[in-house]
């Protein structure tokens, strides 16, 4: 009981740390590419945590499918942002959006 439990607990703790690091990176990164990468890291951590908790294989496959789908869509969005705005920095994208919008009446 001792050795297997310790290894499983260590894997679970590592997976949760990976999940949290990815979530923080996705939340605080000023770059759209880094935000997508942070979410992908968080999804990988979640899949590892599910495996450590002995989730059914169908859940693991579904999690991997969601992660792959997010990777494809996120990369597509980042490429489209780069083409449209010429930058992947969120501050530059916000500034370009503010320039393109007409001023509000009464402002």
C-alpha 90/C-alpha 39 separation (Å) is 16
Quick one: pLDDT at residue 100? Answer: 65
Quick one: pLDDT at residue 85? Answer: 80
The HSE-up count of residue 17 (CA atoms within 13 Å, CB side) is 6
Taking 70 as the threshold, does the pLDDT of residue 1 lie above it? no
Global model pTM greater than 0.85: no
C-alpha 17/C-alpha 53 separation (Å) is 15
Tell me the per-residue pLDDT of 52-107, one tens digit each, with 9 for 90 and over.
999 999 999 999 999 999 999 999 998 988 888 887 777 777 777 677 677 777 75
User: Which position has the higher pLDDT, 81 or 1?
Assistant: 81
C-alpha 5/C-alpha 3 separation (Å) is 5
Quick one: pLDDT at residue 40? Answer: 94
The fold adopted by the segment(s) 10-96 is: Helix Hairpins (1.10.287)
């Amino acid at each position: 009981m001792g050795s297997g439990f310790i290894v499983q607990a260590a894997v679970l703790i590592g997976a949760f740390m990976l999940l949290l690091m990815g979530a923080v990176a996705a939340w605080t990164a000023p770059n759209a590419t880094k935000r997508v990468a942070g979410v992908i890291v968080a999804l990988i951590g979640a899949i590892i945590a599910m495996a450590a908790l002995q989730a059914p294989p169908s859940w693991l496959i579904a999690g991997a499918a969601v992660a792959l789908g997010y990777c494809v869509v996120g990369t597509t969005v980042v490429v489209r942002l780069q083409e449209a705005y010429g930058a992947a920095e969120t501050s530059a994208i916000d500034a370009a959006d503010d320039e393109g919008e007409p001023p509000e009446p009464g402002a």
